């Protein structure tokens, strides 16, 4: 079976296809139609044609459509969840593919319940002035490979909720669940033709998205270099942008913290989805007197977490999603070892097929190691010892990224005071990578522009249009 694009409500196949690899065994999981600029242009034209009627559709009907999509995802959860595991690797169990489906449903329902009513900002004898939030126009969504269905939902739902048609381009590594979702929505006739389109394609299609005159806004989640490229090219047509880019989240454990109570959230905040999560904890700063205790606690916890093929029962952490990411992680760990890091868990690539890499915990790490200064986005965490808290905060703030950060301590209020000194889009206390559809999420510094989720996120799909009435 070849997965198709969706344009104007109908499936579209193309003459060329590409393979999607199952990262658990390196085998071909499925074939997908490869889109070109021609299909992208057709999808944008369909979206543009659908825009006026969809923008004028009563708010309650659009909310209703989102709830129907949530029902549809639930009804097809098993199929979509299996596709996620096959294309991306995360397991069926634990915080894996079924968790991703539940998240997709939850985000869709919460977004259905959001709205942006007009605001009256002046109302006196002479005038009434109102702010209206109008849908911006055709939205292009470009998604990465780590949480393919969830991030697609994060992009699509606020757009269509507020009246913008969407053309989504999933990552070529993980297009299956997105293409199937869009196909299901269109088959079910929940949305008018052209409101939700999906294309595939290479960098040429990506570049065309950035310059297309009929795309009003791009929502992009992915790496910093691609985000920069999109922004540069989108400047010519002054597109609105939401960019959710890479991070290298620091976690700081306050001196003397009783880690036994915190090890579970600390572990999952670091290793959920084998660390392939934008807002995972990626550098762990621990007081020099506590390194041994913390390292031991994390390693002991890790020893009980089965890693393997996500389709196998009981597996809680799957493989790296693709060869590029696998090689990056192996390279970083080998470099850290060569520079003197101590391996507390994992640290050795196996001969197993696919891209399965063990949970790896390194101590004795320094700023000179790429696993500290670069985003590893994988199944490894470096522990860096600090002497003073000021030194740890300075190191946490020392990179050009600022997506998330966390501070861990026995007294949450004390930890919160320290967290306020760290510069990041989200500062967690005694938790990490905990997201909620009612809470805005975005990066500062080079980690992005704009936010997603909540009414703040909804606003990003609108323009402010003032109504000014003389009385
Ligand atoms: P990537 O930048 O390589 O690819 C992301 C998407 O951009 C893919 O769909 C890709 O096909 C597309 N693309 C490639 N070239 C393009 C071009 N010239 N124009 C337009 N689109 C183009 O990123 P990735 O490797 O898929 O994802 C991993 C990165 O994403 C990590 O850095 C991670 O931190 C980041 N990420 C961030 C968040 C967040 O919310 N901040 C969430 C998930 C992932």
Model confidence pLDDT, tens digit, residues 437-458: 999 999 999 999 999 999 999 9
Q: DSSP states of 303-324 as a string? A: HTS-BS-TTSTT--B---SSHH
Provide the strand spans (E) within 346-435. Answer: 360-363, 380-386, 401-402, 404-408, 426-429
For the cut 90, the answer to whether the pLDDT of residue 389 exceeds it is: yes
Residue 1 has a pLDDT of: 77
Residue owning the nearest CA to atom 8 of ligand 1: 171
Please state, as a whole number, how many other Cβ atoms lie within 10 Å of the Cβ of residue 35: 26
Q: List, in sequence order, every residue forming a beta bridge with 469; answer none if it has no partner.
A: 128
> Domains (ranges, CATH) in the chain?
2-245+447-470 (3.40.605.10), 249-437 (3.40.309.10)
Q: What's the average model confidence in pLDDT over 362-388?
A: 98
Contact 31, 4 (CB under 8 A): no
Residue 172 has a pLDDT of: 98
Query: If pLDDT is split at 50, 70 and 90, which confidence band does 233 have?
Result: very high
Contact 174, 149 (CB under 8 A): no
* CB-based burial label for 260 (10 Å; 0-12, 13-18, 19+): exposed
Query: If pLDDT is split at 50, 70 and 90, which confidence band does 70 have?
Result: very high
Q: Coil, helix or strand for 428?
A: strand
Residue to substitute in 153, 215, 222 for testing ligand 1 pocket (most ligand atoms within 8 angstroms of CB)? 222
Condensed to tens digits (0 to 9), the pLDDT of residues 123-152 reads: 999 999 999 999 999 999 999 999 999 999
Sorted by sequence, the CB contacts under 8 Å of residue 249 that are 6+ apart come out as: 279, 280, 281, 282, 283, 403, 404, 405, 406, 424, 432, 433
Residue 405 has a pLDDT of: 98
Residue owning the nearest CA to atom 30 of ligand 1: 222
Residue owning the nearest CA to atom 23 of ligand 1: 222
Q: Max Cα separation, the chain?
A: 79
Residue 238 has a pLDDT of: 97
Atom of ligand 1 nearest to the CA of 229: 18
Q: List, in sequence order, every residue forming a beta bridge with 28; answer none if it has no partner.
A: 21
Nearest in space to 431 (alpha carbons), one of 446, 417, 419: 419
For the cut 90, the answer to whether the pLDDT of residue 427 exceeds it is: yes
Residues with CB under 6 A from ligand 1: 142-146, 169, 171-172, 203, 206-207, 209-210, 221-223, 226, 229-230, 244-247, 278, 375, 377, 403, 443, 448
Query: If pLDDT is split at 50, 70 and 90, which confidence band does 351 have?
Result: confident
Q: Coil, helix or strand for 130?
A: strand
**CA 337, CA 96: separation in Å to the nearest integer?**
30
Condensed to tens digits (0 to 9), the pLDDT of residues 289-333 reads: 999 999 999 999 999 999 999 999 999 999 999 999 999 999 999
Q: At what angle do helices 97-112 and 77-88 cross, to 10 degrees?
A: 120
Residue 129 token pair: 């002035």
Strands 28-33 vs 17-21: parallel, antiparallel or unpaired: antiparallel
Contact 285, 396 (CB under 8 A): yes
For the cut 90, the answer to whether the pLDDT of residue 191 exceeds it is: yes
Condensed to tens digits (0 to 9), the pLDDT of residues 194-229 reads: 999 999 999 999 999 999 999 999 999 999 999 999
Percent of the chain with pLDDT over 90: 99
Residue 220 has a pLDDT of: 98
Radius of gyration of the chain (CA): 23
Residue 187 token pair: 């088959």
**CA 51, CA 352: separation in Å to the nearest integer?**
49
Nearest in space to 144 (alpha carbons), one of 74, 47, 50, 247: 247
**CA 168, CA 187: separation in Å to the nearest integer?**
17
Catalytic (active-site) positions: 244, 278
- Report DSSP state, residue 197: E
For the cut 90, the answer to whether the pLDDT of residue 350 exceeds it is: no
**CA 374, CA 399: separation in Å to the nearest integer?**
9
* CB-based burial label for 41 (10 Å; 0-12, 13-18, 19+): middle
Entry pTM: 0.97
Residue 182 token pair: 């869009």
Query: If pLDDT is split at 50, 70 and 90, which confidence band does 353 have?
Result: confident
Residue 352 has a pLDDT of: 82
Nearest in space to 362 (alpha carbons), one of 370, 349, 371, 374: 371
Residue owning the nearest CA to atom 21 of ligand 1: 206
* CB-based burial label for 466 (10 Å; 0-12, 13-18, 19+): exposed
3-state secondary structure 64-90: HHHHHHHHHHHHCHHHHHHHHHHHHCC
Query: How many A from CA of 335 to the centre of ligand 1?
Result: 25
Residue 465 token pair: 């249009």
Q: Taking all residues of the chain, what is their mean pLDDT, rounded to a whole number?
A: 98
Query: How far is the CA of 256 from the CAs of 250, 300, 385, 410, 453, in angstroms?
Result: 18, 19, 13, 9, 36
Query: How many A from CA of 144 to the centre of ligand 1?
Result: 4
């Amino acid at each position: 079976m070849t997965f198709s694009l969706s344009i104007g409500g109908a499936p579209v196949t193309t003459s060329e296809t590409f393979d999607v690899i199952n990262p658990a065994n390196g085998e071909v999981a499925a074939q997908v139609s490869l889109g070109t600029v021609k299909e992208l242009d057709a999808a944008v034209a369909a979206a543009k044609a659908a825009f006026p009627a969809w923008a004028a559709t009563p708010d309650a009907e659009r909310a209703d459509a989102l709830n129907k999509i949530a029902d549809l995802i639930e009804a097809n959860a098993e199929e979509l969840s299996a596709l996620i595991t096959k294309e991306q690797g995360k397991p069926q169990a634990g915080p894996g593919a079924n968790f991703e489906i539940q998240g997709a449903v939850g985000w869709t329902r919460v977004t259905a319940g959001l709205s942006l009513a007009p605001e009256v900002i002046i109302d006196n004898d002479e005038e009434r002035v109102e702010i209206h939030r109008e849908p911006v126009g055709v939205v292009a969504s470009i998604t990465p490979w780590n949480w393919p269905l969830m991030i697609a939902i994060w992009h699509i739902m606020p757009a269509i909720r507020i009246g913008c048609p969407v053309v989504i381009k999933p990552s070529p590594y993980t297009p299956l669940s997105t293409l199937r979702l869009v196909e299901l929505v269109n088959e079910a006739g929940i949305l008018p033709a052209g409101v939700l389109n999906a294309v595939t394609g290479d960098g040429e299609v990506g570049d065309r998205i950035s310059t297309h005159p009929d795309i009003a806004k791009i929502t992009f989640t992915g790496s910093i270099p691609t985000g920069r490229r999109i922004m540069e090219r989108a400047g010519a047509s002054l597109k609105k942008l939401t960019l959710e880019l890479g991070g290298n989240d620091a976690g700081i454990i306050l001196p003397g913290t009783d880690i036994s109570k915190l090890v579970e959230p600390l572990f999952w905040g670091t290793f959920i989805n084998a660390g392939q999560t934008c807002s995972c904890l990626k550098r762990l700063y621990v007081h020099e007197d506590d390194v041994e205790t913390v390292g031991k606690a994390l390693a002991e916890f890790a020893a009980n977490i089965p890693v393997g093929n996500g389709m196998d029962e009981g597996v809680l952490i799957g493989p790296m999603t693709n060869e590029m990411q696998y090689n990056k992680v192996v390279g970083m760990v080998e470099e850290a070892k060569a520079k003197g890091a101590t391996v507390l868990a994992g640290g050795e690539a196996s001969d197993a097929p696919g891209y399965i890499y063990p949970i790896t915990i390194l101590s004795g790490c320094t700023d000179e190691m790429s696993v500290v200064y670069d985003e590893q986005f994988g199944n490894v965490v470096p522990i860096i010892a600090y002497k003073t808290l000021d030194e740890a905060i300075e190191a946490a703030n020392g990179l050009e990224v600022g997506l998330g950060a966390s501070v861990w301590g026995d007294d949450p209020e004390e930890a919160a005071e320290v967290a306020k000194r760290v510069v990041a889009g989200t500062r967690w206390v005694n938790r990490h990578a905990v997201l909620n559809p009612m809470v805005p999420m975005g990066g500062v510094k080079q980690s992005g522009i704009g936010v997603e989720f909540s009414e703040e996120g909804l606003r990003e799909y609108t323009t402010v249009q003032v109504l000014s009435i003389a009385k």
